[in-house]
Chains A and B, each alone.
Chain A
Amino acid sequence: MPTNGAPTKITQGSRTKGGIGESTLRPDGTLKVTGEFAYSSDMWHEDMLWGQILRSTVAHAEIVSIDTSEALATPGVYAVMTYDDLPTEVKNYGLEIQDTPVLAHGKVRHHGEPVAIVAADHPETARRAAAKIKVDYRELPVITDEASATAPDAILVHENRDDHHIGHVPHPNIVHRQPIVRGDVGAARERADVIVEGEYTFGMQDQAFLGPESGLAVPDEDGGVHLYIATQWLHSDLRQIAPVLGLPESKVRMTLAGVGGAFGGREDLSMQIHACLLALRTGKPVKIVYNRFESFFGHVHRHPAKLHYEHGATKDGKLTHVKCRIVLDGGAYASASPAVVGNAASLGIGPYVVDDVEIEALALYTNNPPCGAMRGFGAVQACFAYEAQMDKVAGQLGLDPVEFRRLNAMEQGTIMPTGQPVDSPAPVAELLRRVKAMPMPPEREWESSEGVDVRQLPGGLSNTTHGEGVVRGVGYAVGIKNVGFSEGFDDYSTARVRMEVVGGEPVATVHTAMAEVGQGGVTVHAQIARTELGVTQVTIHPADTQVGSAGSTSASRQTYVTGGAVKNACELVREKVLDLGRRKFGPYHPAWATAELLLEGGKVVTDGGEVLAGLVDVLEDEAVEVEEEWRHRPTEAFDLRTGQGNGHVQYSFAAHRAVVEVDTELGLVKVIELACAQDVGKALNPLSVIGQIQGGTTQGLGVAVMEEIVVDPKTAKVKNPSFTDYLIPTILDTPTIPVDVLELADDHAPYGLRGVGEAPTLSSTPAVLAAIRKATGLELNRTPVRPEHLTGT
């Protein structure tokens, strides 16, 4: 099958070393693997205090009283603050809906909600003082699921809602609801030869970033504060912090500190406001570092979900219709729930051509832990369910699951359920073909002349099988993820680029507020500057709020949007430099006026390769600087009744083939291989692209077989807030991940690139589940799969 699209061609900068398309190494790489990188938790300031947060021990309760006297009297304690000590009328914050109290007022709505904060001269003093604060709770019944949230007598998690969703939700305990209706499902169902229904459950996954929440707030002489912080979006934090402090944004200076991973978990504020409040109250620098236990309460998680699907298909393998209902548990506060709902709904049927669709997605308010952004953002839960359905339908039709998917795969020109045409390459069938064509890993690799290598078997070194009960299964899945912020959001980035001569060499400086959270953005920015400006020396300025917003490091958007802003600013600098050259040297050579000019290797050259001048001579002691905002093409909101609208910027596709071996007697799983094929438009840094795909794949594996925050349904309390009991894959759980990267340019995007980071997280999980189903013959409608599910015990 021919595939639309072609690789991007690069002219400017193609002869300059270290530009885009090269696997240049990350400046932070060696420091991180040798343990020398300074993370936000490593910061220190002379005379600093340590902040500690007191969190609720119950999930839902009225606060009868708070007694801080004993804590305040503790030697070494400088400040204890509760809701009553907040300095302004702004006492809540939130990404979209300001429903999250800085400190609890009269009520706590989830286990681990901040109630009071303490600053002391030693972290242990602060911790002990916080433990001396007496909070008298009057417990309330907990709302934990759809039934309890929408029961006739349900307590409202938030009374007096006045947000912009309250007008269209069927119940005040529903944050947001998005239907999508297209075609005529009733009529289409008549054409179906098979109809398959399924009910699916997706567990609560944690981002499990390795660097816990931390930051340092230093009071400034002008009454402001400087916050050094690990975050995903400095300017979003700033917008939420400043009003609570009663300061203009200009007096809250923010600098990005070393970020130890994010995956969505740092989109919401954690200790930012608390540290600033304590610093301003005490007049001293205040550092807050969560430990691992607190970190599990200190950030939002991936929404657990219940999903109901109905798929219809004709005998010849064409989908007739899809109906689905996706219920996401948003927990106690809104966080990113509305946008997650929009994603789950609009991407809810997957990368397939279906003309007749009824989709409903909603997020609940409950007393469970708040849920929000995590890699894949609503599309992950849907992909788990629709891919299970695709296998079931294929099974009913007696078709090969890959063939059935290819028969229904979308392509460029397909109309989404939202009515939006897919107007760039969508090589869904091709990705499936490629992933299926990869060579299979050999069977029974655990056997050797030496005996049995248990590391190759389910259970690994735990020595549970030497081959007994082990059955291999192979499964496939493909997914679709949007790139960038959707639904009409003004999703821009700012870049400031400067070119000047330093030490006799032309040097470019790139200054953005982009949060480098490990994605490798700083590497890519330097590559873009080299390509666009033809220089080898590039300085990346530390990210701070002294430059305009770079938007969030999420939604697979940073290379596209901030990368696009850097490219744009570089192009403007290049034009200015060429203008300067023309003014200085134009009269001496006609090519300045007539030829297409490029910057290559520190020189101005013609497209024919003739050198016109060195940049050093063009610039002399002048610096050329540009700061510009850059936007991708605008999107629209989804209609609240029909879900129609051009809501997304770009789509990203990945396909996986999972090969697993299951010890069917013990219910233990070894993922042998997770092959991935992904279209990335243009790989700006191929090594980073592979890293993103392997990382996303592994995170998807985690939620397939082990990762889950377990919440007690009776108390809404978290039962496993530690890495002892919240398991993430080790290297022995991580399979070989062969990656096949496709580069089909999206003409709307800088260099034709496509956001990479999230798509592999989608299809990895359903591929593993499909392979386990194949090995066991079990239905497995829930993820993660636990040994008791596989053994029926």
Chain B
Amino acid sequence: MDFLRPASWEEALAAKAEHPTAVPIAGGTDVMVEINFDHRRPEYLMDLNRIGDLSEWEVGEDSVRLGASVPYSQIMESLRAELPGLALASHTVASPQIRNRGGVGGNLGTASPAGDAHPALLAAGAEVEAESVRGTRLIPIDEFYQGVKRNALAPDELIRAVHIKKADGPQQFSKVGTRNAMVIAVCAFGLALHPQTRTVRTGIGSAAPTPIRARAAEEFLNAALEEGGFWDNGKIITPSVARQFADLCSAACNPIDDVRGTASYRRHAVGVMARRTLTWTWESYRGTAARTEGVA
């Protein structure tokens, strides 16, 4: 295995163009596990840790440009207001040591359905900034996940950053695991209210071959909220609407039975999380909840 250590982003792009099989490594959360377990023996390993600007972020007018290597601990600390859903998801990533090293770029690169960031990115709305020597493109997050551990990157492309819409309303993230910390998701759910566009967006993790949105559920809820004038009158969402939303989220799942959980449990749990996160975000939108975000 050859170890490449580009000193700059340009060098990294050139190296990736020359060696498209090179596997980029930053925090190493996924890559080192695969290497240690001998599931993967890449010809080239490309260390991106010398490229400082991958660990930086910019808060723009409408979105945050988050460097691929910004560690989860930094997101929790510094971007809670702008990216509340992702900050909550970051809390659930592994252990403090891993949160200090791992970043969203790794989650996107691996594109595992169990990656903790995905539901939050899907719910918030995001674009992946992919770059190669051929140029830069922004891949909408909805088009990024292509299959089990497959993403939309070309072989010569690297993830430089992800552009995430700044929260314009309450966001929530929930994840089910069989222990209370340091656990891979059995399933996960992200929800973001977008009062500016009067829409809601969802994200579901670990309950389908890829991270997905529950589009029928979103459409149902958008229509129900619009119809009842909820965005304006701030009324409590009726239990039947919440239940139907939850049922549609469950129905969006296409889960499997595995050692972490059964398909039917995953479907059930996604419904429960959908209903609860809808309640929390809506209460927060109505301004009645003291703080429903959860503190830790």
For A445-471 the 0/1 string (1 means CB < 8 A from B) is 000001111110011111111101100
> Which of A114-122, A266-274, A718-726 participates in binding chain B?
A718-726
Q: Apart from A460-B180, A465-B276, what 10 extra A-B contacts exist at CB < 8 Å?
A: A291-B36, A450-B291, A454-B296, A460-B181, A461-B296, A466-B292, A668-B180, A725-B184, A787-B269, A788-B265
CA A787 – CA B292 in complex, angstroms? 24
List chain A residues, Cβ under 8 A from B173. 463
A733 within 8 A of partner (CB): yes
**A-B contacts, 22 listed (Cβ < 8 Å):** A450-B295, A454-B295, A455-B180, A461-B92, A462-B92, A462-B174, A462-B176, A462-B177, A464-B176, A464-B273, A465-B276, A466-B276, A668-B180, A706-B179, A722-B37, A725-B184, A727-B183, A729-B179, A732-B181, A787-B178, A787-B265, A788-B261
User: Are A463 and B265 in contact, CB atoms less than 8 angstroms apart?
Assistant: no
Residues 357-381 of A at the B interface (beta carbon under 8 Å):
none
For B253-296 the 0/1 string (1 means CB < 8 A from A) is 00000011110110111001100100110000000001111111
User: Are A787 and B186 in contact, CB atoms less than 8 angstroms apart?
Assistant: yes
The one of B172, B265, B296 in contact with A453, judged by C-beta atoms closer than 8 angstroms, is B296
B88 within 8 A of partner (CB): yes
User: Are A451 and B268 in contact, CB atoms less than 8 angstroms apart?
Assistant: no
List chain A residues, Cβ under 8 A from B177. 459, 462
Residues 273-332 of A at the B interface (beta carbon under 8 Å):
291, 293
B91 within 8 A of partner (CB): yes
A791 within 8 A of partner (CB): yes
List chain A residues, Cβ under 8 A from B273. 464, 666
Given contacts A452-B291, A667-B265, A788-B262, contact A727 B176 (CB under 8 A): no
For A634-678 the 0/1 string (1 means CB < 8 A from B) is 000000000000000000000000000000011110100000000
A17 within 8 A of partner (CB): no
A88 within 8 A of partner (CB): no
A631 within 8 A of partner (CB): no
**Least distance between A223 CB and chain B CB atoms (Å):** 37
A406 within 8 A of partner (CB): no
Chain B residues at the A interface, C-beta cutoff of 8 Å: 33, 36-38, 88, 91-92, 172-184, 186, 259-262, 264-265, 267-269, 272-273, 276, 279-280, 290-296
List chain B residues, Cβ under 8 A from A720. 259
- Smallest CB gap from A728: residue in B: B179
The residue among A454, A463, A786 with the most chain B CB atoms within 10 A of its own CB is A463
**Least distance between B296 CB and chain A CB atoms (Å):** 6
- Smallest CB gap from A293: residue in B: B37
A160 within 8 A of partner (CB): no
- Smallest CB gap from B92: residue in A: A462
CA A733 – CA B180 in complex, angstroms? 6
**Least distance between B90 CB and chain A CB atoms (Å):** 10
- Smallest CB gap from B175: residue in A: A462
List chain B residues, Cβ under 8 A from A670. 180
**Least distance between A540 CB and chain B CB atoms (Å):** 34
**Least distance between B288 CB and chain A CB atoms (Å):** 13
**Least distance between A3 CB and chain B CB atoms (Å):** 38
The 8 closest A-B pairs by CB, nearest first: A460-B180, A451-B291, A732-B181, A788-B265, A462-B175, A793-B265, A454-B294, A793-B268
Chain A contact-residue range equals 35 or more
Residues 452-511 of A at the B interface (beta carbon under 8 Å):
452-455, 458-466, 468-469
CA A54 – CA B175 in complex, angstroms? 38
List chain A residues, Cβ under 8 A from B259. 710, 719-720, 725
User: Are A463 and B269 in contact, CB atoms less than 8 angstroms apart?
Assistant: no
A730 within 8 A of partner (CB): yes
List chain B residues, Cβ under 8 A from A788. 261-262, 264-265
List chain A residues, Cβ under 8 A from B88. 463
**Least distance between B73 CB and chain A CB atoms (Å):** 13
The one of B33, B91, B178, B294 in contact with A727, judged by C-beta atoms closer than 8 angstroms, is B178
List chain A residues, Cβ under 8 A from B292. 451-452, 466
User: Are A725 and B260 in contact, CB atoms less than 8 angstroms apart?
Assistant: yes
CA A465 – CA B181 in complex, angstroms? 14
User: Are B276 and A791 in contact, CB atoms less than 8 angstroms apart?
Assistant: no
CA A468 – CA B294 in complex, angstroms? 13
CA A461 – CA B296 in complex, angstroms? 7
CA A459 – CA B88 in complex, angstroms? 13
User: Are B295 and A451 in contact, CB atoms less than 8 angstroms apart?
Assistant: yes
User: Are B92 and A791 in contact, CB atoms less than 8 angstroms apart?
Assistant: no
CA A458 – CA B178 in complex, angstroms? 10
CA A353 – CA B172 in complex, angstroms? 55
CA A450 – CA B38 in complex, angstroms? 46
**Least distance between A106 CB and chain B CB atoms (Å):** 28
List chain B residues, Cβ under 8 A from A461. 91-92, 180-181, 296
For A156-195 the 0/1 string (1 means CB < 8 A from B) is 0000000000000000000000000000000000000000
**Least distance between A788 CB and chain B CB atoms (Å):** 4
CA A450 – CA B293 in complex, angstroms? 11
**Least distance between B272 CB and chain A CB atoms (Å):** 5
User: Are B261 and A466 in contact, CB atoms less than 8 angstroms apart?
Assistant: no
List chain A residues, Cβ under 8 A from B269. 666, 787, 791, 793
CA A454 – CA B262 in complex, angstroms? 25
CA A228 – CA B37 in complex, angstroms? 27
CA A465 – CA B180 in complex, angstroms? 12
CA A166 – CA B167 in complex, angstroms? 71
User: Are A791 and B268 in contact, CB atoms less than 8 angstroms apart?
Assistant: yes
List chain A residues, Cβ under 8 A from B272. 464, 469, 665-666
User: Are B294 and A458 in contact, CB atoms less than 8 angstroms apart?
Assistant: no
Given contacts A666-B272, A793-B265, contact A459 B295 (CB under 8 A): no
User: Are A451 and B180 in contact, CB atoms less than 8 angstroms apart?
Assistant: no
- Smallest CB gap from B279: residue in A: A468
List chain B residues, Cβ under 8 A from A733. 179-181
User: Are A464 and B175 in contact, CB atoms less than 8 angstroms apart?
Assistant: yes
User: Are A462 and B180 in contact, CB atoms less than 8 angstroms apart?
Assistant: yes
CA A455 – CA B92 in complex, angstroms? 11
- Smallest CB gap from A461: residue in B: B91
CA A127 – CA B36 in complex, angstroms? 12
List chain A residues, Cβ under 8 A from B276. 464-466, 468
**Least distance between B182 CB and chain A CB atoms (Å):** 5
User: Are B268 and A459 in contact, CB atoms less than 8 angstroms apart?
Assistant: no
User: Are A463 and B291 in contact, CB atoms less than 8 angstroms apart?
Assistant: no
CA A401 – CA B240 in complex, angstroms? 41
CA A775 – CA B115 in complex, angstroms? 32
CA A288 – CA B177 in complex, angstroms? 35
- Smallest CB gap from B182: residue in A: A730
**Least distance between A208 CB and chain B CB atoms (Å):** 13
For A696-725 the 0/1 string (1 means CB < 8 A from B) is 000000000110001000000001101011
The residue among A455, A458, A459 with the most chain B CB atoms within 10 A of its own CB is A459
CA A459 – CA B268 in complex, angstroms? 16
User: Are A463 and B174 in contact, CB atoms less than 8 angstroms apart?
Assistant: yes
**Least distance between B88 CB and chain A CB atoms (Å):** 6
**Least distance between B262 CB and chain A CB atoms (Å):** 5
CA A550 – CA B120 in complex, angstroms? 57
CA A724 – CA B276 in complex, angstroms? 27
List chain B residues, Cβ under 8 A from A463. 88, 91-92, 172-175, 294
User: Are B264 and A793 in contact, CB atoms less than 8 angstroms apart?
Assistant: yes
- Smallest CB gap from A459: residue in B: B180
